[in-house]
Amino acid sequence: MSVAGNLMELREEAIRAHYGAAAALLQGFDHTPRLARARAPALAVAERSPGIPERPRFRATTPGLVTRPVARPEGVRILERVMAADDDPIPGPLEAAALQALRRALAIALAMGATYAEATPLAELKRANLEARLAPSRAGEFGEWLAAEALVVLHVFANATAFLVDPHLTEAAAEVGALEEVLTDNAALALHGALWELDQTLATEAAAPGRLLPVVAAFAEQLMERAARRAETAPRTGPFVAASWRVEADGLTLQGFTPARKARGTALAMTFKRPEEVIGNHIAKYQAMRLAKMLMAYDFTRRLNPFAEIGGFIFTFMGDGAPGTGKTTLIQMMAGLIHGYCETAGYPFRYANFAIDQIDSYQGKSGQNARAFVDGILDPAVIGFGTIDDIDQVAGKRGDRQSSAGQQEVTAVFMQAFAGAGTVVRGNCTFGMFSNYPENVDDALRQRAGARFLVDGPVTGADYIDILALLLGRNHAIPVGDHDLYAAQEIRRAVAESFTRHARPQEEALLRVWEGVAATTGPLDTLARLGRYLKAIHEADPRFTGRAVKNITDAVKVRAMDFELPDEWMEKPDLFLFRPYDDKRAMIRELMKPITVGMVIEEINRYADSEFRYADHSDERAIASMVREMERMEAARRRHGGGKG
């Protein structure tokens, strides 16, 4: 996983220098399609007798639109196509919004293309080519740089268009077909092909009222996807992917071939729970509360969280437990905490849950739904919290014939998103996977959960008294009796006791491994002895791999951050949240604790306990299923034999 770097500014004067070229592209140009077939006729040009001057055309007075009369060439005329989407000869606000967004996006794309060329050998190769001094041996390299520039310009044009149109969209949505005229010979031809496709799309899809902006947005999404897919295998795109640019006037950040989105939060329709309403689940509750505050340390200017840089940030976690132990309550508590902190700080907060109803029977649609869910939460312009409830039903286990194609698609998307080659952890969001049956989750996907929350609900007698009192409410006069109400829920004491329990393994199979290693090596007080313990766990369960060790070390780093950011910092943002990034990092470092042997042992046991628990449950379920089947077969044989007699 990589961490986001610094932003460079794409200067406003460089963008505005391309306004004329952008307006000319919208006014008209000739283009003969090379890869696609025309789906709509070109706009008609009225004929006139020689010598008779053309009647003056209507000039739009909307700010930002080109108003001087120009000669329109045959071919692609986006400006007229947009105006033709409505019978009204006066351009309305939607038409103006579309045209201004397209012109601005084209100018940003052209400026980005020029910046890319100057930052790479492409600018010099272009000059050498114009001056007829380009060596034949460099022709192939020149072609690769031109193709990379074309992909950069295409993606930035589509990215900026989608970003600029987004504030004007309503709930109405549109779907457009696959784009074919995606050309990468050079940037100019690439834009000609893209605008020809847009012209065709507008002609066939935007005729109905209210369709213009949704169609433009859908076109931009399709073009972004095509350009990003091409860029995965295209050479010379590294300089663009490795850097980030900011267009300050629009609040747009260009991060390689990643879509940018408006910082728009979601309106939450859920019942929030206060921490004191979560009975039991001490470690899970404590870590969820700390993670909610960790997210708030995210720096929107640097687009990075100090916890993600220093270590100890939980990007993905899994909460597992029996039905009715409080997983939903934990989600409601954590979402409520983050929502409240974001309201105080004025940050946009986005919550989404991916559920079984997003598995679609159409091939590829389930994967698209999963990708859209992930991208929405990853959006660096918001604080995000994504949950996947009942992940054992949502994501299929590879090799399981009972898993649908849609479930397999979802598994592939989540695996790539949570710990893939291109995963970037900025520290602005976290994903929680919840399940009653974690043993049914694909092993590789489950191991991508960096932290484990055992959601075991009320455990002690005190827990059950507390939950009874909480759920009964106040409409009764029943005395509490000999019990200090909610004293057992005092978070720090309960968490300390919960962690201490893991000084020795809890699962029987792991305990045998522990005792065997301790008998051979003695106390686990050195890295060498701890390493031998890890190796012994791997020998007992081959699924315990290097990724498991990484998750354990990440959890240890979380323990080094075993402090709560003061509530005052959340209530008064100027004390911490609004401080510069370097100040926040220094304040966090002052609160860090040293890593101890005890922390490492507890986290090894906590993680390994969960893996052995999953394996035991999986084996027990399989054995029970086989026993039931054998009993049925035996009963059937007896009944069949009795019938013959």
Residues 241 and 284 placed together within one structural domain of the fold: no
Asked if residue 466 belongs to a domain, the reply is yes
Q: pLDDT band at residue 490, thresholds of 50, 70 and 90?
A: low
According to the model, what pLDDT value does residue 5 have? 45
Residues 344 and 491 placed together within one structural domain of the fold: yes
Q: What is the CATH number of the domain that holds 432?
A: 3.40.50.300
Residues 160 and 100 placed together within one structural domain of the fold: yes
Query: Is the pLDDT reported for residue 17 higher than 70?
Result: yes
Residue 597: Cβ within 10 Å count: 14
Asked if residue 629 belongs to a domain, the reply is no
Asked if residue 19 belongs to a domain, the reply is yes
Where is average pLDDT lowest: 29-43, 152-166, 213-227, 568-582? 29-43
Q: pLDDT band at residue 278, thresholds of 50, 70 and 90?
A: confident
CA dihedral 471, 474, 479, 484 (to 10 degrees): 60
Residues 219 and 315 placed together within one structural domain of the fold: no
Contact 382, 264 (CB under 8 A): yes
Asked if residue 333 belongs to a domain, the reply is yes
Residues 510 and 363 placed together within one structural domain of the fold: yes
Residues 300 and 240 placed together within one structural domain of the fold: no
**pLDDT tens digits for 493-534?**
666 666 777 788 888 888 888 989 988 888 888 999 999 999
Asked if residue 260 belongs to a domain, the reply is no
DSSP characters over 466-522: HHHHHHH-SS------S--TTGGG-HHHHHHHHHHHTTS-SSHHHHHHHHHHHHHH-
Higher pLDDT, 324 or 158: 158
Residues 280 and 165 placed together within one structural domain of the fold: no
**With 0-12 CB in 10 A as exposed, 13-18 as middle and 19+ as buried, what is 495?**
middle
Q: pLDDT band at residue 226, thresholds of 50, 70 and 90?
A: very high
**pLDDT tens digits for 393-444?**
898 888 777 788 889 999 999 999 998 877 889 999 999 998 888 878 888 8
Residues 279 and 210 placed together within one structural domain of the fold: no
Asked if residue 352 belongs to a domain, the reply is yes
Residues 246 and 285 placed together within one structural domain of the fold: no
Where is average pLDDT lowest: 54-58, 364-368, 442-446, 544-548? 54-58
- Provide the number of structural domains found in the chain: 2
Residues 466 and 564 placed together within one structural domain of the fold: yes
Structural domain range at position 197: 7-44+57-255
Query: Is the pLDDT reported for residue 45 higher than 50?
Result: yes
Residues 247 and 287 placed together within one structural domain of the fold: no
Asked if residue 645 belongs to a domain, the reply is no
Beta bridge partners of 9: 246
Tally of CA atoms within 13 A in the half-sphere of 629 that contains its CB:
6
The mean pLDDT of 332-350, rounded to a whole number, is 90
Asked if residue 467 belongs to a domain, the reply is yes
Instruction: Among 255, 284, 309, identify where a domain stops.
Output: 255
- Could you tell me where the beta strands, DSSP code E, fall in 396-463? 429-435, 451-454
Instruction: Among 207, 225, 255, identify where a domain stops.
Output: 255
Residues 363 and 232 placed together within one structural domain of the fold: no
